[in-house]
Structure 1
């Protein structure tokens, strides 16, 4: 299939675009967790998170539960620590999740209403149906669930079937993420080329159709791109298969970070930078493919069908971006449960212990397993608001920032505006006396544009 030309994409050759795009940050968390501090007073943080005034002043809440597995390591956890065939270990982990939920309920004192539930990680490759049922029952017993609850869960697409999808829906899930890696790569062997885990077209369409029939409101497919030695032809086939299934959302996620080049020794630098180039080309190829297929690029490598609610919200200026990605809900708190899970309350961010033994030990002492956290400074809040305005609306008005923060925008961000002149020459942004606007081409790299405002990245 020959792709028709997409305006603004076929001439992306600027060196600055290649230079900035090798770090692929999504900025759902700012500052990044590695800048959290373990010196934070956990009890004071917990008191702040669960204080009755906090509940009254910020009524919107989400519960995010991390289920680590060998198939889906956490973004903020160095190594996966549970395997789907270790039933006894998973039972134990589930027990501790329930204990943590009980401690959170006790800390809140009063019943707290949830608007969203997110099960992150290996949802169906890790817990059994009975283990999931215990978890869902505990949530219902300890929290009040709002009528229009959004309940998102994840499953590896190759492992999904009619039974597992229907069971997830019966448990209350209504937003399904199907994870798919492009493993159509030659095996390291001699002789005829063999393909591994080819995403079957009928299988993909059947899974999506089953989810729709079951009653899921939203179906998204998360695609991992830019893996080493990824074959463009096979990747194109994978994109065709996914598009043919017509999911509501398609989320492109970069493979193993090309930023390993920063840590590589001289002997590995050539390979690392080669991977950077491959990932850049794969990203552009994927963007062209999905836009030509009729999907709308919301931003941050998320593509939506034209009738999706996120497209409407973005057009109407109602789109929000936060710890859990794009949303139509205003600022909400996130209650984190499980190892390495990240939560927020107002201007405070925190992360649970990322090692099982430490996580278990804290809960055995009836302590919330918070490992580190950060109280955002006024500068952090300002920079985050600028980033989110660019991510959601592709524009930041100097006057709007000055309305909420006691600054002169052009003076405060003089360095950033100077850096952005190169981005303007590359066609990524336009800058005038009133605002910074992201161009259609720049929207494809808006996360990279946000790096200019990332004070922590610059200082480190």
Structure 2
């Protein structure tokens, strides 16, 4: 039995590491011309992943940390599609768009807040500009079951969407009411059945623990209801309470949010529940069935992590399209403007809506490799890192290895000459295990308003 009190000391602000360096290091020092140069000179033999951000929601979910625009006006969506098309036009002028597309993702906002016809228009525009989707391309979409119908599903099927992620968060009525997202079980069940009717190969369900009024007992019920839908994957996220960044979170009474020990108990039960029901924990907060490609990838140590979560599509460049989207190359991150007026103004001026980013130096690349492998596979091949970057690992990371020693003593992590291995218990604090390798953490150490808490 785990003594959760020992983990309270690990409850401190820290990154989720969907990138390294993290987004707080992005700046306008990474200039527009430099970004354009990166796009123009990229290896045309290297495939790409495309992410398109569809930012609109009808109303706010108070837990949401995404960049969204609340509206009920149809003309806003029509206008946005026009600007997306123009952004794709501009991209085709600065990069070779005949490149293979191996991954595509609609994120939001609520992508299915757009009508079937509008989704079809967007996909037709994407494929006009990027015509070479591979036959095995992973084409996926985030869906709010409350905004999903058969006509939309037909469009998704037409364009080869094989993966769908349904947002649920929690089935408990008092939790749904508090976070302003009323979504009865039957609505989610109907949405899942509709997707299966049209041949969707992989269904993911998103849950969040750490929301107001959640208890271990109530979340057990949510897990059982989610499992009854037989998803292929589940993502069970730790709620990131950052009211200084997201005004809607200020509507939540912080005294109703579960304490760190309760959250850890929920996480441990979640891990036990799904592993006992045939799933395997993938990375920090995902679970997958044995026949899922993520499951197979982690066994081979080939899982990767990016802004879309965990993927087997490593070694590809990510092209972000739409307001606030983030792109990623081998040695850079690039983010579009967050505000619609600035996004539109850039495109009106004939420029990509690039706002800021960061160009990675050699140290960044080394640390990114280490952190992402730990976050993805719960282990690190030290010899691979030494060979790839020409370093002596224990010398280069002497401070990090020393900082990890208390976790070694507690059995959370093992360090040998060949590898670092995270124990099953250590996976509960994987963010804390990755943080010693982060060169930027020292300057954020005293800040309580940079990252959400790790526990």
Q: Check whether TM > 0.5.
A: yes
Does residue 365 (structure 1) correspond to residue 349 (structure 2)? The answer is yes
Q: Which residue of 1 aligns with 2:30?
A: 40
1:152 corresponds to: 140
The Cα of 1:361 is off from its aligned counterpart by: 0.5
Contact persistence 2:146–2:183 (CA under 8 A) = no
Q: Give unpaired runs (5+ residues) of structure 2.
A: 246-251, 445-455
Partner of 1:394: 378
Candidates 39, 46, 58, aligned match of 1:49: 39
Give the Å deviation of 1:294: 2.5
CA contact (8 A) 1:111 1:143 kept: yes
Q: Check conservation: 1:399, 1:434, Cα contact below 8 A.
A: yes
Q: 1:128 deviation in Å?
A: 1.7
SS at 1:39's partner residue?
A: coil
Contact 2:113 2:147 in 1 (8 A): no
Q: How far apart are residue 122 of structure 1 and its match?
A: 3.4
Partner of 1:241: 225
Match of 1:97 in 2: 84
Q: In the TM superposition, what are the counterparts of 1:153-232 in structure 2 within 5 Å?
A: 153-182=141-170, 184-186=172-174, 197=182, 199-200=184-185, 202-232=186-216
| Distance (whole Å) between structure 2 residues aligned to residue 409 and residue 435 of structure 1 | 10
CA distance in 1, matches of 2:294, 2:326: 24
Residue 67 of structure 1 aligns with which residue? 54
* Distance (whole Å) between structure 2 residues aligned to residue 282 and residue 288 of structure 1: 10
Name the SS of the counterpart of 2:214 in structure 1: coil
User: How far did 1:270 drift?
Assistant: 8.3
Does the 8 Å CA contact 1:184/1:231 hold for their aligned counterparts? no
> Could you say if the C-alpha distance between residues 135 and 179 of structure 1 is closer, same or farther in structure 2, counting changes exceeding 3 Å?
same
1:3 maps to none
Contact 1:336 1:351 in 2 (8 A): yes
Structure 1 residue 22: deviation in Å?
Answer: 4.9
Deviations 1:137-161 (A, max 9, x none): 1011111222222111011134444
Aligned alpha-carbon RMSD (Å): 3.1
Are the equivalent residues in 2 in contact too, given 1:199–1:238 (CA < 8 A)?
no
Answering whether residue 1 of structure 2 is matched by residue 13 of structure 1, we say no
Classify 1:74/1:173 alpha carbon distance in 2 versus 1 (closer, same or farther; 3 Å): farther
Residues 251-276 of structure 1: CA deviation (Å, up to 9, x unaligned): 01222427979xxxxxx998499644
Aligned mates of 2:431, 2:265 — CA distance in 1: 17
| Contact 1:258–1:276, Cα closer than 8 Å, also in 2 | no
Shift of residue 436, structure 1, vs aligned partner: 1.6
Show CA shifts across 1:289-343 (max 9, x none). 3223221101211001122121112213333333433222231101111111000
Does structure 1 conserve the Cα–Cα contact (< 8 Å) formed by 2:213 and 2:258? Answer: no
Going from structure 1 to structure 2, the CA distance change for 1:188 and 1:117 (only over 3 Å counts) comes to closer
**Contact conserved, 2:382 with 2:393, CA < 8 A, in 1?**
yes
Partner of 2:116: 129
SS in 1 for 2:44: helix
Contact (CA 8 Å) 1:248, 1:304: kept in 2 or not? yes
8 Å contact 1:18–1:280 — kept in the other structure? Answer: no
| Structure-1 separation of matches of 2:210 and 2:176 | 18
The alignment partner of 1:178 has SS state of strand
- What's the secondary structure of 2:174's corresponding residue? coil
Q: Structure 1's 77 and 313: CA in aligned 2 closer, same or farther, altered over 3 A?
A: closer
| Distance (Å, rounded) in 2 between the aligned partners of 1:292 and 1:387 | 28
Mapped contact 1:342–1:351 kept (Cα < 8 A): yes
Query: Which residue matches 1:280?
Result: 264
Alignment partner of 2:228: what SS?
Answer: helix
Q: 1:30 to 1:205 in 2, by over 3 A?
A: same
Choose which of 407, 419, 423 in structure 2 pairs with 1:423. Answer: 407
Q: Distance in 1 between matches of 2:112 and 2:60?
A: 9
Task: Say if 1:254 and 1:165 are closer, same or farther in 2 by CA, change over 3 A.
Answer: farther
User: What aligned pairs does 1:323-402 form with structure 2 within 5 A after superposition?
Assistant: 323-402=307-386
> Relative to structure 1, is the Cα distance of residues 79 and 108 closer, same or farther in structure 2, using a 3 angstrom cutoff?
closer
In structure 2, C-alpha distance between the alignment counterparts of 1:212 and 1:365, rounded to whole Å: 44
- What is the TM-score when the length of structure 2 is the normalising length? 0.87
1:32-74, CA deviations, whole angstroms, 9 ceiling, x for partnerless residues? 11211112221121121232xx1335x2201101111235889
Deviations 1:153-203 (A, max 9, x none): 0111344444443442234321101001225243899xxx9x983642x54
Point out which structure has higher relative CO (alpha carbons under 8 A, 6+ apart).
2
